[in-house]
Amino acid sequence: MDISLEINGNHEELDVDPGVTLLDALRERLGVTGPKKGCDRGQCGACTVHVGGRPVLSCLTLAATVREPVTTVEGLSVEGEALHPVQQAFADCDALQCGFCTPGQVMSAVAAVEQDVDDVREFMSGNLCRCSAYPNIVAAIEQAAERTRSTADARV
Ligand code: FES
């Protein structure tokens, strides 16, 4: 079937099998390899992307059902090469080791910061890290949240 997707601001037309997941469409058809295929069954969070601004597991989402814009880790930077504040916080806090889980962690972390969640650990519980970088990931999210609040306060 013919589908159209908006990926990181780019309009894409694809001819796909109805059973193709968003993750496979991104990685195998469009060369968008930030989202990772970890478990491929919705248990690890490495494939997390945003659809319509909300984090979703792209391995459990059929490409043909996607109607809203998709953002992957490649599309987070808003100004050219500049890192998104959450990406910068991950770098500042050494919030990764092997890095395989990091694109998914970052996408969930962006949602955590945007929603100003109270319980970061609970919110992030769907994103597993086999290197156990959890303390630094939480520290990065807290840093990004704090900087986002400070920026918002400065604008008031
Ligand atoms: Fe290696 Fe998380 S940094 S799995």
Average pLDDT over residues 22-40: 98
99 lies in some domain: yes
Q: Are residues 71 and 90 in the same domain?
A: no
* Ligand 1 centroid, distance to 97 Cα (angstroms): 5
Alpha carbon of 106 to ligand 1 centroid (Å)? 12
CATH number for the domain spanning 19: value is: 3.10.20.30
Single residue among 47, 75, 103 that ends a domain in this structure: 75
Task: Based on the fold, state whether residues 91 and 68 are members of the same structural domain.
Answer: no
Provide φ and ψ at 70, rounded to 5°.
-105, 135
Rounded Cα distance between 99 and 97, Å, is 5
Is 101 touching ligand 1 by the criterion CB < 6 Å?
yes
Quick check: 106 and 139 in contact, CB under 8 A?
no
Domain carrying residue 62: 2-75
Tell whether pTM > 0.85.
Answer: yes
Ligand 1 within 6 A of CB of 100: yes
Tokens standing for residue 67:
């109607």
Q: Is 1 in the pocket of ligand 1 (CB under 6 A)?
A: no
With a cut of 90, say whether residue 61 has pLDDT above it. yes
pLDDT tens string 74-104: 999 867 778 999 999 999 999 999 999 999 9
CA–CA distances in Å: residue 117 to residues 124, 138, 149: 10, 12, 12
Average pLDDT over residues 121-138: 98
Ligand 1 pocket, mutate which of 73, 100, 124, 137 (most atoms under 8 A from CB): 100
